[in-house]
Amino acid sequence: MSMDLKGKSFLTLKDFSRSEIQYLLDLALRLKQKKNSGTRGKLLEGKNIALIFEKPSTRTRCAFTVAAVDEGAHPEYLGVQDIQLGHKESVEDTARVLGRMFDGILFRGFSQSTVEKLSKYSQVPVWNGLTDEYHPTQVLADFLTIMEHKGGLQGQKFVYVGDGRNNMARSLMIGSVKMGLDFTIVAPKELWPLQEWIEECQSYIQEQRNQIIITDQIHTEVLEADIIYTDVWCSMGEEDKAAERIKLLQPYQVNKEMIEATGNEEVIFMHCLPAVKGNEVTTEVFEGKHSVVFDQAENRMHTIKAVLVATLIENLS
Ligand code: CP
Ligand code: NVA
């Protein structure tokens, strides 16, 4: 399949069609096979990419760095403490400066409006490496992992358990409905996604005939799940909410009983990481045979490489 994504920013999956997302996943698989065969790439030779981090990161930073270097690009890490952004210079001015020097910009931080401004003012592709609202590159890695373990995406029963309002829950809901998975959030009512997010996602469903379920019923709704997914109970920047969240979410911990309640021997356990073992997931499940969390972590790199290649160079057929 051919697809022209050159020059396009990757800010949220809302901006991508089902066939564009599938194209990125298929490209990631090809790039993964290429790397595993020992072939060194030159697809991004001569490109320079800026990596701006307002929040900490292991996977996203390493994935962008290795993906860029693997295909011949130069990545430059710019921690917000090291540059003028947010102290002496506006996002708009920083964007125009970086856009004159770099071929693309990754941003990880708090506000979605920052990645949007970077994209608007820099005139180069900008990639969202997590904001308070979305984490779209993580969803690509998760979907590649599901394809590898389940043979495809369509019709899979995806159950997200935990904080239903955070960036992962929201991004997975968008991605799932676009790609034809049945999507359920199991969360206490206090942490259900906003009604407007659900309605927005429902507008994508009509084409796909899949469904979104939001519930606080744990054991009935995990039945027959193909995927159980969870994330931290306090996202970066929400550390002051820890006591309240533990109280609310303790019954929603992914543990052996929850995995057994799926009734599916082949269910996979997923987590974007980093995990707080003993909170959202037990060590037993995290380390157990259903867990694919490190496949997800590795796939961050292959899928991010696909995003870089697709948005920085001419279409690969
Ligand atoms: N999953 C993820 O984004 O991990 P990092 O915070 O380590 O980048
Ligand atoms: N919801 C988490 C995801 C971390 C990858 C956070 O924002 O901290």
**Which of 18, 135, 271, 290 is labelled catalytic?**
135
C-beta 168 within 6 A of ligand 2: yes
**103 catalytic per annotation:** no
- At residue 211, the pLDDT reads 86
C-beta 133 within 6 A of ligand 2: no
pLDDT at 142 over 80: yes
**300 catalytic per annotation:** yes
How close is the Cα of 163 to the center of ligand 2, in Å? 11
C-beta 141 within 6 A of ligand 2: no
- At residue 274, the pLDDT reads 98
- At residue 210, the pLDDT reads 79
C-beta 58 within 6 A of ligand 1: yes
Indicate the range of 174-183, 201-210, 300-309 predicted with least confidence.
201-210
SS3 state at 49: strand
Six token digits for residue 21: 């997302």
C-beta 145 within 6 A of ligand 2: no
Q: Quote the DSSP letter at residue 189.
A: G
- At residue 267, the pLDDT reads 98
Give the Cα separation of 228 and 180 in Å (integer).
Answer: 17
What residue ranges define each of the domains in the chain, with the CATH number in brackets?
A: 13-135+300-312 (3.40.50.1370), 138-296 (3.40.50.1370)
**219 catalytic per annotation:** no
- At residue 197, the pLDDT reads 96
- At residue 12, the pLDDT reads 98
- At residue 3, the pLDDT reads 83
Of the pLDDT bands very low, low, confident and very high (cuts 50, 70, 90), residue 314 is confident
Q: Which of 57, 106, 131 best tests ligand 1's pocket when mutated (most atoms within 8 Å of CB)?
A: 57
pLDDT at 1 over 80: no
Closest CA to ligand 2's atom 2: 235
Residue 166 CA, distance from chain mean position: 12
Give the Cα separation of 308 and 127 in Å (integer).
Answer: 9
**108 catalytic per annotation:** yes
Of the pLDDT bands very low, low, confident and very high (cuts 50, 70, 90), residue 207 is low
Give the Cα separation of 259 and 218 in Å (integer).
Answer: 11
Of the pLDDT bands very low, low, confident and very high (cuts 50, 70, 90), residue 153 is very high
Give the Cα separation of 52 and 119 in Å (integer).
Answer: 13
265 Cβ partners below 8 Å, 6+ apart? none
Q: Is the dihedral of CA 12, 16, 17, 20 positive or negative?
A: negative
**Which of 61, 142, 201, 272 is labelled catalytic?**
272
Q: Which whole number is the average pLDDT over 242-260?
A: 97
**87 catalytic per annotation:** no
